[in-house]
């Protein structure tokens, strides 16, 4: 029973780690994406808002 709880605890930590690292990695690429898409600030704002809404 204790081993199962340890595995679940570890799996939960990994899930939260991945959920945190993914947006952090994308945040570093926003200026590159903006440049490659030739988008202005308003367009990029709408794209980021759409990603945020899509998470619900």
Element (H, E) at 26: helix 2-37
Encode pLDDT of 21-45 as tens digits.
Answer: 988 888 889 999 999 999 999 999 9
What domain range includes position 38?
21-56
Instruction: For residues 3-32, give the mean pLDDT.
Output: 90
What is the C-alpha to C-alpha distance for residues 33 and 41, in angstroms, rounded to an integer? 12
Looking at the chain, the whole-number percentage of residues with pLDDT higher than 90 is 55
Confidence of residue 3 (pLDDT cuts 50, 70, 90): confident
The number of folded domains in the chain is 1
Contact criterion met (CB below 8 Å) for 30 and 48: yes
Domain assignment present for residue 4? The answer is no
Domain assignment present for residue 14? The answer is no
């Amino acid at each position: 029973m204790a081993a199962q709880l340890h595995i679940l605890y570890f799996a939960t930590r990994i899930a939260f780690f991945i959920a945190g690292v993914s947006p952090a990695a994308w945040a570093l690429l926003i200026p590159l994406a903006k440049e490659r898409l030739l988008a202005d600030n308003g367009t990029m704002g709408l794209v980021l808002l759409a990603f945020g809404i899509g998470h619900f």
